[in-house]
Structure 1
Amino acid sequence: IKAIHPLTNKNIPVWIGNFVLLDYGTGVVMGVPGHDQRDFEFASKYNLDITQVISSGDDSALPIINKGKLINSEVYDDLSSDEASLKIINQLKSDNLGEGLIQFRLRDWGVSRQRYWGCPIPVIYEDGEAKLVDEKDLPVKLPDLPDNSAPIPLSQNKDFYNLSPEIQRETDTFDTFMDSSWYYARFTSADNEAEIFDENTKYWLPVDLYIGGIEHAILHLLYSRFFHKALRDMDMVEGNEPFKKLLTQGMVLKDGAKMSKSKGNTVDPQSYIEKYGADTVRLYMMFTAPPEQSLEWSESSVEGASRFIKKVYNLVIDKTFISIKESNQFSKEEIDLRRKTHTTLKKVTNDFESRFSFNTAIASIMELLNAIPEDFKKNNAPDSKKFCLNESIIIILKTLNPIAPHISEFLWNHFDTDKLMGPIESSWPKVQENLLEISEFELVIQINGKLRGKVLVDINLEQNEIEKIAKNVENVSSNLVGKDIKKSIYIKGKIINFVI
């Protein structure tokens, strides 16, 4: 059996495959073995022709399932996948062979539940005919339960549903998603008893960040978007989307599996809080993995988080903040610490606000703590060093505060005994951009990708000057003797690689 291709008019074979569903679409699909995994496996098994018609840039192996540019497609060559789709649909429409169709996979939503808890469905049955409850009789409230009574389904409460011999109430309640799918909007005007939404709603929506488990992203997010678009169409809210950004957090695992009472692999956080403190447990969980990935629980890692907090404690506990005037002249070592401090602040701020990458933020704070020279911590250190240390302590405690609020606030109050700086949460420190600029850097020198040396150089030198300095480094020069340099690759402020 063969079919005629509607665009090329070529005869193409018809095959029967168990992965083509009779009840999906028309029950017939166009096989594209070069760009569909199941089609590829079918064609490979039965030795069918496999023609590549899309190039994605990396064409080393078929099937290529990503979008790209069309090849081997006659008049559609060099078009993007999306451009080609539109052009093909328009051609089929002009030839009266078909038209474009947007196919939704949404199913009907059964919103009724046969239970006591929930919002009663505002429907009555008058002589068997369903009618909406009059607005003056809204809301329909759940009946009170007798003392010490378990929840009784409404269908078993005749006093609730029998309004008269001819009129009965609906006894089902709404799915709880009917309530929770729009609470984010009502929260903005919760104190308004006259209107469901008001000017505050316009100000606060859309929500900046939606945080939830992946199961919420599938269900609650879907329903919330449905409600929001319905409310928008009714001119009750503005904007097309209820949330600007979605963050789905991972799960906590134990022994490689999701924690479950039935598996007996749960961890009681209270015992760890009593042993290490809540800050340690919180810091461990945020440091061990990015928030969107799963976390494998490890007691040894909890101890590592505890050691870090103790190190911060030991740094600050014997210090008292004294206001010191900023020096006009800092040593190189002092400038290096100030640069590290403000580089850390800039990175942590970005990790918190834009990337939600709390683990890398904590790692940066750890690096800053380790970068403080020992002589800066001495009581007899000069004022310029004490100024730099104060700056580092302030930024360590302030950036640590969202993650470990108890210990950071305790140490802040201890450090700022005279209350010269205000509460720890009163302000977020500002990055001094001028301190981020460097005059010199450690140049990494490679030959054919292998490390051969390092040297401090001026950041403003041109590549030819960098090359001269790098070639004069002892281990580099000895490895270049008698060799022709084919190419020099220089990444400013980082590395130079000689290809020989």
Structure 2
Amino acid sequence: MADDMPLHRYDAETADELETRWQAQWLADGTHHAPNPAGHLADDPLGVADRPKLFIMDMFPYPSGSGLHVGHPLGYIATDVYARFKRMSGFNVLHTMGFDAFGLPAEEHARQTGEHPRINTENNIANMTRQLDRLGLGHDKRRSIATTDEAYYRWTQWIFNQIFNAWFDPDAGKARPIAELEAQFASGERATPDGRAWGALSSSERRSVLHDFRLAYVSEAPVNWCPGLGTVLANEEVTADGRSDRGNFPVFKRPLKQWMMRITAYADRLLEDLDLLDWSDSIKTMQRNWIGRSEGAEVRFAVDAASGDAASATTIDVFTTRPDTLFGATYMVLAPEHPLVDTLVADAYADDVNPAWTAGAATPAAAVAAYRARVEQMTDVDRQENKEKTGVYLGVHATNPVNGESIPVFIADYVLMGYGTGAIMAVPAQDERDWDFAMEFGLPIIRTVQPPVDFDDAVPGDGAYVGDGPAVNSSFLDGLGVEDAKAAIIEWLEANGSGVGMVTTKLRDWLFARQRYWGEPIPIVFDDDGNPISVPDEHLPVNLPELIDWAPRQLDEASEPEPPLGRAAEWATVDLDLGDGMKTYRRDLNVMPQWAGS
């Protein structure tokens, strides 16, 4: 048997010897180096600088575990084969590796091990690099980066500043410097929101006006608040059953001031440019549905004067794709988290209020508080399911602008803050969910679209008719088809100051802030009036302060988020001259989401 063994059998020991020897030789010879035309990486021992250039980048791994798993090499080996093939085909190939080292995964792993995120991350990167070396991948190691490198995240912060200092110009179809918009205001080419001359506005007022146009902006919005992780999560970080993807903690909807990216400004461009892509029709349809462009009108409903001083000075704005059905709006519904709810809610219910509208509460405020507490624990998917309709009456009425009818205002879980204005005019005869709600709460139902003659036979017990047909019970719209009725009512709304034609989308602006420690600091400071100002490029990077007490604290549902950077008291304020002389500014205490650097 021994005589049958080959003299030089390729066993594990031989493989280890050969691979380590040649890997060391490749490193010494710079076999996988990609020289630059100039600078400290211009050394070109193999004479490849003049060849055609090719850059190959893998998806950066998260150093959020002690090492790589078997799934990582699957992709890395494939790109390595391609890179080697292109080198042998005469290309100057730049193939290196990076590490997506900031963010929730790395911070959670650090919390589990009890180490500081920086130490934990650096140890994980060192071990992953060792594993990659043993695979024999052809990376130019001189160019390896981690998103936590200060020299790297300086550019992450620089990109954020470019976005913050830009606005979307619909005429150009692209972003333009905010300075150009400011020049339009200054010259009078563009009117200010309140009509005053630009020169008559204070510095703080000008900043406030510009902020409403910036592509990166601060706004109060309903967010996914995860007390167990001590931070806000993006929709992509929340599971379908309303728990955090990391840690499986419960997630609640809460209104909170956050940094947002104005990606909705690009909705039309995203739709139009789909035609330029060589993608399957099914994928394009998914993208169009995700963007969800809708044409219709924004309608203003004045709150009845009898509702009290604060509420009666308020209008409720709703977006509808069917303004032609306005004459059938018999009640209104706001999302429970709508910011107007606290202003509108009455002190007491009228003596003759329908008991079904109060959910057994003694006052509107008590009913709202109890209902909100229940809805906070529901996901958007839960709220959209076909189920028994629930809601509570705010104790106020609004006026339907087309017929002067006084209609009650409710909150209900089936209306989401993330679509349209977060409020609807309910037309139960033409919408199935509105029909179910009206039946549950005994609200009027008025048909405004004539169903076909056999509709009552096709829908047992009557029901909402959601198809097209001539307008009925709609005054001057009667007899018109849907499109003609839409055009006529929008013209009437605009002429009477009660609304405007509008386009909206399901696409929402991107939440871009986290109440965590391990992330890129947002390069923004705030003046005494709370206006955000970008840190000048010469002061970048804004370095992440070293904190011993860095971990987010587990909180309860009612607690406010506590950004860990607030514990770095000396770092949290800074003296800068931003054009108004040396002043003290407050730093932004949030960090960027984990994918900002990659």
User: Shorter-chain TM-score: what band?
Assistant: under 0.3
TM-score for both structures, normalised by structure 2:
0.21
Q: Larger % of strand: which? A: 2
User: Which one scores higher on RCO, CA 8 angstroms, separation ≥ 6?
Assistant: 2
Whichever of the two has the greater Rg, that structure is 1
Q: In proportion to residue count, which structure has more helix?
A: 1
